[in-house]
Amino acid sequence: MAADEKGNRSLRTNRKLRLVLHLILVAVHCVAASRVIHAADRTLRGHSGSTTGLAWHPGGKWLACGCFDKTIGIWDVESGQQRQTFAGHTHYVYCVAWNRDGTKLASASYDRTVKVWDAKTGRELYTYRGHTRPVMSVVWSPGGSKLASGSQDKTVQVWNATDGKTLHVLKGHTDLIISVAWSPDGKILASGGFDNVVRLWNPIAGEASGILKGHTEPIEMVNWNPDGTKLASGGRDLTAILWAMPEGRKLHVLKGHKRRIESVAWKPDGTQLATGSQDKTVKVWDAATGQRLHTLSGHEKPVRGVTWSPDEKLLASGSDDHSIKIWDLSRR
């Protein structure tokens, strides 16, 4: 009996040791899988306010930045020089978006307007007025004939891009809207807001078509992957959710940020997702597995915006520290 008891204790001890070794290996694997990068490859400075909305020109050479100094900066990424400044908004610029061929830039502002600019000359082409509270997001339709904007007035508005005529006013959110995104095929508009849900709309008929529930706090951004099969949403509950579309099935809940997620951006090939957070970091995730690949730690204040370059090599991030950082992930 004594020998049996001694054997059982030995067996239990061996099991505990194996469990401890397994947990250590898992921890080491997780640390190795998520590399921490402390220094950006380039830092662009020149704005006197938070750098929020970022959008890479389709040609890949220029980067547009909406800023709390009420301007839009157009940066030559290779030289690090600001080549143009678009001025005309009277309050914070939250979001900027290029049309498909990069000839025009749209901007959304706290001054309650959407503006469209000639990308070559910087001339203001149109000003769209219709929202009654600050406009937080603007996006072009895939064909470029329409714009959609989301506002603190709880509406999404669809505009004719050439004459500024309002085509639809979409109502359904019960709180302010922070982000809108147009699906690549042009058939669905997604919007996320402070009522903790993603709403889906038919932008042609001007009707609601669905709702995605999963976040427990306000949603800061929504974004489609390049082929329209997935939608990403990031929010104040410290998570980003990947949804299978069009069925709206939850694929992954990405956890790791210590403060709210402000921005989400897909790599152009759809394999990775970048998230920017108020914890001052950018994280890069594997879209297929939900595994964290990189943590980019270099900003001194919350990260407001992230965007990938068209060639997939560079990731840009904007922050409350007034800087834009460029990360070359192709050489990492």
Return the CATH number at 46: 2.130.10.10
pLDDT by residue (tens digit) across 274-283?
Answer: 999 999 999 9
Contact present, 329 and 313 (Cβ < 8 Å)? yes
User: 180: which 2 tokens?
Assistant: 């809108």
In terms of domains, do 185 and 205 share one?
A: yes
Residue 78 is which amino acid?
E
Rounded to an integer, what distance in angstroms lies between the CA atom of residue 174 and that of residue 24? 46
Query: How confident is the model at residue 158, as a pLDDT?
Result: 97
In terms of domains, do 20 and 95 share one?
A: no
Closest CA to 173 of 149, 198, 148: 198
Query: How confident is the model at residue 323, as a pLDDT?
Result: 95
Rounded to an integer, what distance in angstroms lies between the CA atom of residue 252 and that of residue 145? 34
In terms of domains, do 28 and 41 share one?
A: no
Find residue 17's DSSP bridge partners. Answer: none
Query: How confident is the model at residue 75, as a pLDDT?
Result: 96
3-state secondary structure of 8: helix
Q: Burial of 149 by CB count in 10 Å (0-12 exposed, 13-18 middle, 19+ buried)?
A: buried
In terms of domains, do 95 and 213 share one?
A: yes
In terms of domains, do 139 and 222 share one?
A: yes
The string over 50-65, giving b where at least 16 C-beta atoms fall within 10 Å of a residue's C-beta and e elsewhere, is bbbbbbbbeebbbbbb
pLDDT by residue (tens digit) across 201-229?
Answer: 999 999 999 999 999 999 999 999 999 99
In terms of domains, do 103 and 123 share one?
A: yes
In terms of domains, do 192 and 239 share one?
A: yes
The string over 250-279, giving b where at least 16 C-beta atoms fall within 10 Å of a residue's C-beta and e elsewhere, is eebebebbeebbbbbbbbeebebbbbbbbb
3-state secondary structure of 332: coil
* Residue pointed to by tokens 């389709």: 58
pTM strictly above 0.95: no
Torsion of CA 67, 69, 70, 75, to 10 degrees: -50
Range of the domain at 6: 1-33
DSSP 60: S
Rounded to an integer, what distance in angstroms lies between the CA atom of residue 227 and that of residue 110? 31
Find residue 171's DSSP bridge partners. Answer: 155
- Low-confidence residues in the chain, pLDDT < 70: 1-34, 332
- Domain count across the chain: 2
Query: How confident is the model at residue 28, as a pLDDT?
Result: 38
Rounded to an integer, what distance in angstroms lies between the CA atom of residue 42 and that of residue 270? 24
Residue 319 φ/ψ, nearest 5 degrees: -145, 165
In terms of domains, do 85 and 7 share one?
A: no
Query: How confident is the model at residue 307, as a pLDDT?
Result: 98
In terms of domains, do 10 and 104 share one?
A: no
Angle (nearest 5°) at CA 42 between 36 and 45: 120
In terms of domains, do 209 and 108 share one?
A: yes
Find residue 128's DSSP bridge partners. Answer: 114
Which helix H or strand E contains 127, and what residues bound it? strand 124-129
In terms of domains, do 142 and 63 share one?
A: yes
In terms of domains, do 13 and 134 share one?
A: no
